[in-house]
């Protein structure tokens, strides 16, 4: 039954009667006076069903096939309003123009914890707010990231097939649409990469902070193994400084101070030395271990797969995140922390005396033992 303003009618579709009458069958439309106590709308009643329907599956189909977001439009299933699908995550709205009309919509990047294996993949492509089909637009090559991408795109100018199950793809309209979606999903891929970088940065910061705390603990227990100037001083509060990201790759430079000259060795000439400078990327991670008069600064950055595993300039220890050994250890939290502590104690041991390498290895071994002593 349907009612709109002063019009009201009922259509009863009997499958058996339709099959019996064949081509001579006519729609049994019955017009009747409107009901003042009834609101405008259409009621669909299914009876004598030959199969059992899952209400959740029916609701999912309705969500995709009817314009639930349209004004003054509501679908009620078994007495419960059907709500449009809402995803939680980072929202990326878009609006692009084409010669045939606008393409607009929203992409949502789901948190990994909310990815559902039962939810169909792809972007809902809608014409006049009705989903025609889902498209991946090449996302099938993204690996696991494709499961985190949901959303919808609207392009009312697209031509659909007669059964409304797809688009007529050999048209200028469809080519313009796919070009827009290619650009949109390029931005989505960049957003996923930024999220992955942020997650990795948080993980690395945590592992580096723990490694520095352990090294600090070891040096406090064994001050005889610390380089000059890094020996814990009585009354001073040893602590771990904060982390920072260089705001600009061009300005992101770390200046380190060279080795201090012994007070007994007075130089014949006073000469100003230029500080050593290492250019960093914008994603470099820096944390400082305050200990004694100087302490050390640890900088994690990317120096290439062929670059050194780590190196030291003054009191700054640089660790290469591109090194194959680092990439292998970063997959496990405990191994990652141990790897960072190993590199830090290695450079600290060499700071004390670079001439006797065997003795430096022994000092590193003792520092690591104390750093991970339970």
- Residue 264, pLDDT score: 47
- Please give the pLDDT value at position 232: 58
Place of tokens 């309705």: 62
Q: Which residues contact 84 (CB under 8 A, 6 or more apart)?
A: 63, 68, 69
pTM of the complete model? 0.53
Q: What pLDDT is recorded for position 107?
A: 92
For 107-139, the pLDDT digits (tens) are 999 887 777 777 778 898 989 888 888 899 989
pLDDT at 177: 95
**Which burial class, exposed, middle or buried, applies to 185 when counting CB atoms under 10 A from its CB (0-12, 13-18, 19+)?**
buried
Neighbours of 264 (CB within 10 A): 5
Q: Contact at 8 Å (CB) between 325 and 308?
A: no
Q: What is the pLDDT of residue 351?
A: 85
| Spans of the chain below 50 pLDDT | 234-266, 270, 272-275
Describe the crossing of helices 172-221 and 333-352 by its angle, rounded to 10 degrees: 50
> Contact, 112 vs 196, CB < 8 A?
no
Handedness of CA 108, 109, 110, 115 (dihedral sign): positive
Residue-level pLDDT at 252? 31
Q: DSSP letters of 152-208?
A: EEE-TT--B-TTSSSB--SSHHHHHHHHHHHHHHHHHHHHHHHHHHHHHHHHHHHHH
What are the tokens at 22?
């064949």
């Amino acid at each position: 039954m349907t009612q709109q303003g002063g019009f009201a009618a009922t259509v009863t579709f009997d499958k058996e009667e339709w099959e019996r009458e064949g081509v001579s069958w006519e729609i049994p439309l019955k017009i009747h006076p409107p009901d003042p106590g009834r609101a405008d709308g259409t009621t669909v009643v299914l009876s004598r069903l030959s199969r059992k329907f899952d209400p959740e599956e029916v609701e999912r189909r309705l969500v995709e096939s009817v314009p639930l977001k349209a004004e003054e439009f509501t679908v009620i299933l078994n007495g419960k309003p059907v709500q449009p699908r809402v995803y939680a995550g980072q929202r990326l709205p878009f609006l692009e123009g084409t010669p045939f009309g606008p393409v607009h919509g929203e992409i949502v990047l789901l948190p990994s914890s909310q990815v559902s294996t039962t939810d169909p993949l792809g972007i809902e492509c809608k014409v006049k707010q009705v989903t025609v089909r889902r498209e991946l637009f090449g996302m099938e090559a993204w690996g696991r990231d494709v499961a985190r991408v949901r959303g919808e795109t609207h392009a009312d100018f697209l031509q659909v097939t007669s059964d409304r199950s797809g688009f007529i793809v050999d048209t200028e309209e469809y080519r313009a649409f796919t070009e827009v979606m290619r650009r949109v999903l390029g931005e989505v891929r960049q957003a996923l990469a930024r999220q992955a970088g942020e997650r990795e940065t948080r993980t690395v910061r945590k592992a580096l902070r723990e490694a520095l705390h352990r090294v600090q603990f070891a040096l406090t227990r064994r001050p005889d193994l610390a380089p000059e100037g890094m020996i814990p001083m009585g009354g001073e509060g040893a602590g771990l400084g904060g982390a920072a990201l260089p705001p600009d790759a061009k300005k992101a430079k770390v200046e380190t101070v060279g080795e201090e000259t012994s007070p007994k060795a007075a130089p014949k000439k006073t000469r100003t030395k230029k500080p050593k400078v290492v250019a960093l990327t914008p994603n470099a991670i820096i944390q400082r271990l305050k200990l004694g008069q100087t302490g050390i600064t640890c900088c994690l950055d990317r120096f290439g797969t062929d670059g050194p595993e780590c190196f030291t300039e003054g009191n700054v220890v640089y660790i290469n995140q591109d090194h194959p050994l680092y990439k292998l250890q970063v997959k496990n939290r405990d191994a990652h922390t141990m790897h960072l502590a190993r590199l830090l104690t290695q450079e600290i041991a060499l700071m004390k005396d670079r001439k006797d390498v065997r003795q430096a290895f022994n000092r590193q071994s003792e520092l690591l033992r104390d750093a991970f002593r339970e």
